[in-house]
Structure 1
Amino acid sequence: MPVGAPTLASPLPPELLDLARQLLARLPELASELAALLSEKEEFYRRVNVTAPDELRKVCEVNLRNAFTAFIEGRDASVEAVRKTGLAQAKQGIPLSAVLRAFRIAGTFTYETLMERAIPPGIITPEQLLPVSTTVWRIIDSYSAVITAAYSEFEAHSARYDEKARLGLIDGLLDGRFTKQAELDDAAKALNLPQAGTFVVVFSDRTPGAERSAALVDPRRWRMVWRSLPEAEIGIVAVERATDLRALREALDSSGHGIGMSPPVSGLRRIPAALRRARIARRCLAAGETGVVGFGDQPLTTLVAGSRELARELAREVLSGVLELPKAEQDVLLKTLHAWYAEGGSAKSTAARLFVHPNTVRYRIRRIQELTKRDLADPRSIAELYASVETARLDPTLGAAADA
């Protein structure tokens, strides 16, 4: 951008300086002529002249004054007024191409005005006007660069504003701030979501180095929006059929993240409830585990994940005898119990899973029963121990006090 370059290659002749001062004194008249010319040449300025004629004339006067003053004083052309003009016209929605053409029209108008008043009366020769012609077009180039930069500035600001507004709508849906159907419909329209239908909420970890979950879901197939937080991504995804839900889980399962998915809900009004369930579903995965867990896939684990403090308190009571052991012994017994449940209570399958002898598994299970005073042949004891061992799996610090 040629801001800071001299506008004149050499001082103006005294005759031309006098003429420029005369024109400066007639600035309101010239501004009106330029406004009329712009209205004639450019459709967008014709509309501006109809709706805000004084504003258009004022803009013309400011920029003509700026140009004539630069001529008279032989200094750089100030571009701040031009920048403000560019920002104002960008806000009005006038295309950049129209604004640039307007400045070329204004430059030509300025030059021709000088020529009309200088050459016929013999005030100055055409040769003496050559530096002026060069200066006019240098000013136009400078103004054009400033205008283009102002439009880029406005577009960047608008993009930030639009993104902020979009995120505000997503947050409104997630937080339940929209209570009226009209508000929900407006948000859906702005976010390109269906106004009615079935939705799921996805709650995904953000793991450094792993691909974002949102990138794994084809936007051509799904109507969805995502909200990125420092530690998580939250998605609202429209699903029409059960096959859509299965396909969504398959797409996300390879993300390398721990992901919780809500059950399908009808309508955007139930998105906050779906988000709560997606968070609980994510808590069903222990630290380091990845993949997709749906709310209710494992009902008892879901119950534990949804009431972490209460589950922790009850697990401490049920597993108190185990948790009094040194941490290494705790871990062996709890790992064995977890594998025993995973293998359906089969000592042989549990042994294969843990790479130990079946008798070792049987011994550890008997010891757990002794320490917890629970009988794994009793359905209620089975449920109590399962809830407790799931709590321990999700909360590795449960027995930390034993070694303290």
Structure 2
Amino acid sequence: MRRRGDERGPALLDALLEGRPEPDLAARAASGLGLPERGRYAVAVLGPCAGGPPGVAAEAEGLRFFRRRLADREVVLVALGDRDPATLAALLTRWYPGPGGIGPVADGLEGLGAARRLAELALLTCPPGTTDIVRLEERLPAALLVSQPELSARLVADVFGPLLALAPADRALLVGTLDAWLECGGSAGRAAGRLFCHRNTVLNRLRRLERLTSRSLSRPRELIEMTLALDAFRMTAPQP
């Protein structure tokens, strides 16, 4: 009977993570997995990778972890208890090479399917070649973009179309300057320090970018367009 229960637990967990509409699924899974039906849970989705707590279930740092492989993804369910979900990304980074995405906290086992889908969206916001493990709450604008790939592609073509015609090195220079300027809160001086160039060089590159895109970084709506287009471009641009 114990062996049968051990085999049933992972199957019930898979059903929860896939969001199957089965009767009394949450109650049966709670019994089979030894988890409270109502509680605070987080789901992380990672690409194929090694490491992490051994086995399907484990405890570490006061948290309970359950690992499953769905398709080509590693899915980690975490029973948070009263712990802050902000600490989870740092903890997973110690075990997994990334990239990975963490969905919002689910209030009970019934919410695991939605939490897993949103964790996959968070994973998709990680640009190619990066190894970050990110929370959806940190990437909401980018998550909107990846959830609408056709609109995202049109946004990149409409805003960055002239940049796409440039030589790759020239395009990377302008895009990297815009990225640094945004990361530095719109400070050309701080961006110059990050890029190891003069402040005027940053300003000249930004003016050129404005001319190419026919948009002004000083107009809020156009700045939003540029920022969203940058996110969409970085998530889809091939690695050099």
Classify the TM-score, shorter chain: 0.7 to 0.9
Max radius of gyration: which structure? 1
TM superposition shift of 1:268:
1.4
The one-letter code matched in structure 2 to 1:271 is L
RMSD: 2.6
Question: For 1:308 and 1:339, how far apart are their aligned partners in 2?
Answer: 25
Instruction: Select the residue among 93, 103, 107 that pairs with 1:266.
Output: 107
* Aligned residue in 1 for 2:34: 192
Which runs of no fewer than 5 residues in structure 1 stay unpaired?
1-92, 94-157
Which runs of no fewer than 5 residues in structure 2 stay unpaired?
none
Runs of 4+ in 1 over 4 A off after TM superposition: 161-164
Instruction: Select the residue among 59, 66, 72 that pairs with 1:219.
Output: 59
Alignment of 1:251 onto 2:101: no
Question: Percent identity over the alignment?
Answer: 30
* Aligned residue in 2 for 1:201: 43
Counterparts of residues 186-335 of structure 1 (less than 5 Å): 186-207=28-49, 211-212=51-52, 219=59, 221-229=62-70, 231-241=72-82, 243-254=83-94, 255-335=96-176
Q: 1:213 to 1:302 in 2, by over 3 A?
A: farther
Q: 1:167 to 1:177 in 2, by over 3 A?
A: same
* TM-score normalised by the chain length of structure 2: 0.88
Q: 1:305 to 1:272 in 2, by over 3 A?
A: same
Counterparts of residues 1-400 of structure 1 (less than 5 Å): 165-180=8-23, 182-207=24-49, 211-212=51-52, 219=59, 221-229=62-70, 231-241=72-82, 243-254=83-94, 255-397=96-238
Equivalent pair of 1:206/1:230 in contact (CA under 8 Å): no
TM superposition shift of 1:214:
6.8
TM superposition shift of 1:307:
2.2
Name the SS for the 2:134 alignment partner: strand
The one-letter code matched in structure 2 to 1:358 is R
Q: 1:218 to 1:184 in 2, by over 3 A?
A: closer
Structure (1 or 2) with the greater helix fraction:
1
TM superposition shift of 1:222:
2.3
* TM-score normalised by the chain length of structure 1: 0.54
Q: 1:326 to 1:246 in 2, by over 3 A?
A: closer
Question: For 1:244 and 1:213, how far apart are their aligned partners in 2?
Answer: 20
Per-residue CA deviation, residues 334-385 of structure 1 (Å, 9 max, x unaligned), is 1111111111111111111111221111111001100101010000011000
For these two proteins, the number of residue pairs brought into alignment is 237
Equivalent pair of 1:194/1:238 in contact (CA under 8 Å): no
